[in-house]
Every structure is written in C-alpha cells, then in structure tokens.
Structure 1
C-alpha cells in the first residue's frame, strides 16, 4: 500500500509570514488552526513536563516499521513558537518517526489561546463531504482530548447521534494497516468506478466494523488480508468472526422471549449502549451493560444513581 501524504508545509499554508503566526490574533492564524501541517522533525522539542518517560523499545521499533510502510495515520500535536515547535501529544509517534528516518512529520499546530478557533475549525472540517471515516474519528477524538468535550457534547456540536460518534471512535482500535485502507477508501472507490457505475473495491466500513470484534490485531490483519485476497462479503466476514470468537455460539440458541427483547431495547436506548438480558427457566438471570471507556462507565453509573 502506498503511503498517503498528509498536510502542507507551513510556507504553503501561511506564505512568507509563517514565522510570525504564533497566536490567534496574528494575521493568518485561521488558516493554520485545525489544519494538518508538515513540519521538520528536527524543529520539534519534546515536552519537559511529559509524565511518561519510559517507552518500550520493541514497541517503538514495531511502530517505526509500520510508519515506514503506511506512513503516519494520526498526526502529532505541537505548539508553535516562531519556526520551532513543542510537542504536546504523540511522543511515541514522534520517536518512532525519528527511528524510521523521517525528515518531516504531519502535525496539528496549536497557537496560544486558540481553543474557540480550534473548535470552529474542527467542526467546519467535519462538514466536508469527502471526509474519510478515520479522519472523522480522529477529529472527534481531538475535540475530546484537546477541548475536553464528552462524546455527548461532540455529538451535539456535530448534530449527530452519540452512537454514531462512538462507532467512529471504535475504528481507532483497528491496526494502522487497516486504518490506512479506510483512509484511502473513498479515493479507491472513485478510481475504481467503471462504466457500469459499479466499483471493484473489496474492503468497506462494514468489513472494518466486523474486524473490530476480533480479539487481537494479528487476527484482524490476517482476516483483512483474506478479505482482499478472496473478495469476501461483509456477511461472510461476520460469520468468520463469530466462528473465531465463540465456536459454540454458531449453534442455534433458544429464541429469547419477546418481553425480554422489549426490555433490552428500552434499556439500550436509556443507557445509549448495548444491554443484554438473560433469564433461566426458574426466573434467575442477569443484565449485562456494555461500555467502551471510563467515560461511558461513569455516565452509566450516573444514570443508575439518578
């Protein structure tokens, strides 16, 4: 897979005034905040207050190899000072890029007092029609990480359901190789369009969502390669995933009573996450409420206590 280029150089974005744009009130700031810029690796210094100081070398080598193969999927975040930059987040990616021998690296560039402008820029970017799903996911994550918003608040800002935001964020759990495939999905569909109005693309969002249910990155990548080689349908992939996870679950199960299904639906809607109810013949059973983050757990507990 060819590495995808991300971002323009500062001079291409800001022109001759690149070194002078350091705060929101500076002319041209609106062109930079929220954009991805390509900056020299040797112009970046690490944050001296970074609480994490130990990095697993084997993991860095593995990440460097991934970067060499598919490029940087998630840009780092830096704060600009003239033509120098202080790293805010993404030190693993920064260190791995150095190991991979990169001269330049894609970065989100923050300026002093740029919170309001950043939020406007991210929301505006998310309205683009050609936005790929991984870019959408990372933009939502930026709103949470850098602006301190909850998933519910992100959903409100964008006029989308919270479950939609959750589904996009789940894509970030996929290996970099598969994330890169999704980033190129729209471009591939356009390039593969033929005279009959059909497409030859064999990997879709549906395939990606199915792979998320596998227990390890290795298993996800193995099945991903099988999808590309054999052109498996989403339904076929879902069946394979189910068989890998729990072979015994492929056997027919007794049909769940309609009353329990109704209750599951009500609780799922109330908690904004999947809720499962099981009950034995003597009435004994259990209720399972799924969550994917500490934040979701806290929101569930708040509703239980409320």
Structure 2
C-alpha cells in the first residue's frame, strides 16, 4: 500500500491513505457490490441505526474505498458506512476508487476491521486463516503482516478447532476467546460442548473454566493410569506437544518402537499443524 503526503485528496480524507492513482467521486450505492472477502459477518443493528442518523444529518465524513469490477464497483473498505448510507435512504456515497488485486482487497477488509476491533473472535480467526492461505504465509509472517504477536495469532487460529456449536457461542458473545482457549485444553473433546453450555449457564469466568478443565483432565489421566501405567517422561512430552500444536497428541511406545499421533479436525487444521512442523524443521 503506497502512501502520499498529506495534501490534496488526503487533506480532505483525513486518516484515509490516498494513492496517486486514486480517483474520488460520489457513486450510486446501487452500483456497489459487497466485498466477498469481508471478514465481518455480524453487524449491530442499533449501531447501524445510530450511524445512519448521523449520516442523514451530516453526510458521510470519511469516504469508502471501492474498486472497479466488471462494469460495476466492488466494496473494499467501509461496509458499515455503506450499509448505514443505504439505511438512511441516500442514493450516492463518497468513494475512493482504487486499483487493487483480490488479495489486496482481502487485506484492506481485514485490517480495517482489526483496527476498529469490530470482529468477534471466530471472524478474526477465519480472517487470519483466509489471509494466510491466500498469501501462503507462515504464522510468523502472518503475525507481522497484521501487527500481532505469533502466539496471539496461533491462539486465535486454534479457536477454529472448537466444535461449531461452541464457536457460535463465541460469535454471539456468550463466551470470549479466553473461554475458547481454555476449553481447547480438554483432553476428552466430547466433553467440550457440555462444558461450554455449563460455562454460559453459570456465567463462569476463564479461570473457572480452566479449573474445571484441569479437574476433568485429571479424571481422564487417572482412568488411563489405572488401565495402563505410563512413562512419566512420555506424559510430560505429550503435554508439551499438545501445548505447541494446540490439539491432542499421543505418544505410543512398545518394545523400543512407537509412533506419535497428532489429532486434527479439519483440512485447515491439518495445514496449520504442518506449517508448525515445517517452521521447526
């Protein structure tokens, strides 16, 4: 993304970065198509109504960004402003017309939402996953691209390993990403949905979930030890690997031979694990 000095168009647009090839005009909202890479899937109706009322009174202060596509315009950034303008009944909206690629459009949409902290945890995780796939980025490179630490990005991506019903609780705001990460510590994944429902019902904080997860894991370990006594060193290594990969890991050994099993739930989860292995090799 190129940046020019704060003069001309940029002086008008304030914080909007303006490039030399940009064009500015008021365009019909009916000619603007949605951004297919928009990471945000839920919009607060009350906030949109408030913004539409402001736009009705004062107009759109900061223009949206669009690109030309197949004789129409495709939104790049500014979906809340566009929706609020439509809600206010306005037929035109100020826009910067920019020449960018599909990948750049995805980046704009993601970064705009991240900077405004408008995404729920699952939307944010999905956005990271899409961007990493589109740009073929390792987690460390992805983290630099979005201005986050690698552990932060890795933890967000781990949320996509949660069952869909639990993910929905994060989307609805009933559980936080901290709750989700705590639930991922469960060794018995079949208990995850029930524990998540209990957390919502009893208004548990993250610490309370972590304590419950620890209790359940100790029960599982106790039952396993009763069935087949295990090497303490092997169990310690399993715990470290589970923390690193963000999923269940089993080391199976017999007569000086054995194998390491790393659990994955989806193709995307497998790709995430493979990237971690490649980074360490």
TM-score, scaled to structure 1 = 0.44
TM-score, scaled to structure 2 = 0.47
Higher radius of gyration, 1 or 2: 2
